[in-house]
Amino acid sequence: MPPTSTATRTASVTLAASATPVPPTATSTASPTPLPALPWWNDAVFYELTVRSFYDSNGDGIGDFNGLIEKLDYLNDGDPNTTADLGVTGLWLLPIYPSPSTHGYDVTDYYAVNPQYGTMEDFRRLVAEAHARGIRIITDLVINHSSSQHPWFIQSQDPQSPYREWYVWVDVDPGWKSPWNNQVWYRLDGGYYYAFFWEGMPDLNYTNPEVTAEMEKVTQFWLTDVGIDGFRLDAIGSLIEKGPVTVETKASHDWFADYFKFSKSIEPETMLIGEVWREDAVVVPWVANKQVDLAFEFDLSAAMIASLNEGNSNRILTTLRSGTSLFPAGQYGIFLANHDMTRVITQLVNDAQKARAAASLYFVLPGVPFIYYGEEIGMHNVPPDKLFLPPMQWTAGPYAGFSTVTPWFMPVNDPVFNVAAQSADPDSLLSHYRRLISLRSSHPALRTGVLFLPSTFDQGLFACLRTSADESVLVLVNLTNAPIRDHKLSISSSALQPGEYSAVSLLDETPLEALTVFEDGHIYNYIPVSEIPPYATFMMQLQPK
């Protein structure tokens, strides 16, 4: 249980027998081998958004491609010398295809864009403008299912149609349920079709080579004709069912192994990140066996939030050591929340200081960071449904500065949690995100460095050391609402060379004590600063004297 705000914590951070590094493979060693050359996405910071809710440029109440182009400078203005932009270098766009829904995960045409967002030429211009600023673009590819309104499915309802085998049709209901005991078979025109998520999203039949060939054509179109940089692949674990076994079948894994090779043959630098909302042991094989480049680290997301709400580092440390370390080096998406989840600050009981500490955690850890739009300003959930994807809060003015007319979904108009209110405040959550992203972009240790995790007798303090060939960065994050004093940091072995080091604060100008490193990278009872305030972060570059 977290301490009261007036309490004082005393911490002693040590390693018992040896350091506990999280090296580039699943095997822990006291002296990790250097990381291999990593792909471009390990130097990136991504921003997830839905075009519908970002900015309306034409006054119809719906966000659009041209509105996103207008706001690209907020995300990254392309000038590394400026500090007013967020500094992200990748965009993940939720589905942009024609769809009868607002979320877009029921696609009616895989070769077109939603006309509410603009034209294909508008989208091509968005890609060009983003690339000019150093921003890569990936889009959601909804590969498991289409909309029930897709022409393919409508034609498949005729048993004599060549599209009948593009979906999974049977004459008699097999009676299977999903792993969550939900209905998956739906009656229509005397037959039953399979839809893993709901009746409006019938599953495509990937045992039919024609379906695979068509999805390969879709992939080639977006990569070569349009020029995007990759895909977030939705719900990959449920692609091909085998009888009542509806998830994680060998056929699904085999299909994606072939799809991975096909995508790389089109463009070797294509990034594929998969959604497998399961525990790490289930997720890791998708990456390790080259079926996707990355997968989202859901266990780590839950652990970071839990550690902050409990004021205890145990959950995050356990996950990093026993789950995250199983992934190939840094090949996972690290995030706090996404469009399917309760927003970060809502999970953190609307505590902005906790939200700052949460940002610190995932920007100093390995992996590829993904920010959910509005997270950087503390956007809250909007009742009644978190999946309504409310408009971005640009100002406290009419319609939150999102549009000049009533938006498709009415925004909150928060006087504090908006871009205008936080942009000029150096102590705001937005300013904190900007600093963290800038530091991660400019310090290779924070992007691709080996991770060392000290043990701690006071579990309210999280400590980590990141080391690369060129630098080392030590980070402390207070997970509690009370100050921590008299802490002592100890590591029995690390990648640091023996000698004297100065510690230079990267987040502010706080003076820090010098550090002595002994043989095998051993650090003993190091006290860098006299007090760590509630939810504060100290990030220090260790420079040999």
Token pair belonging to 114 = 């939603």
Distance (Å, whole) CA 261 – CA 263: 6
Alpha helix (H) residue ranges in 8-117: 65-70, 72-75
Residue 500 neighbours by CB distance under 10 Å: 11
The residues that are catalytic are 234, 275
In terms of Cα–Cα distance, which of 142, 101, 119 is closest to 65? 119
Transcribe 365-399 into DSSP letters.
SSSEEEEETTGGGTPPP-SS-GGG-PPP---SSGG
> Residue 212 is which amino acid?
T
Q: How far apart are CA 270 and CA 228, in angstroms?
A: 9
Q: SS3 breakdown of the chain: % helix, strand, coil, rounded to 5?
A: 30, 20, 50
Distance CA 254, CA 469 (A): 37
Is 339 within 8 Å of 387 (Cβ atoms)?
yes
The 8-class DSSP code of residue 422 comes to H
Distance CA 136, CA 458 (A): 41
The continuous run of DSSP H or E covering 478 comes out as strand 472-478
E strands in 46-184: 46-49, 90-93, 136-141, 169-170
- DSSP letters for 192-231: EEE-SS-TTSPBB-TTSHHHHHHHHHHHHIIIIII---EE
| Site of tokens 């009872």 | 525
User: What is the rounded CA–CA span in Å between residue 290 and residue 256?
Assistant: 8
Tell me how crowded residue 184 is: count the other CB atoms within 10 A of its CB: 24
Output Rg (C-alpha) for the chain, integer angstroms.
24
Taking CA 368 as the corner, what is the angle to CA 363 and CA 373, rounded to the nearest 5 degrees? 75
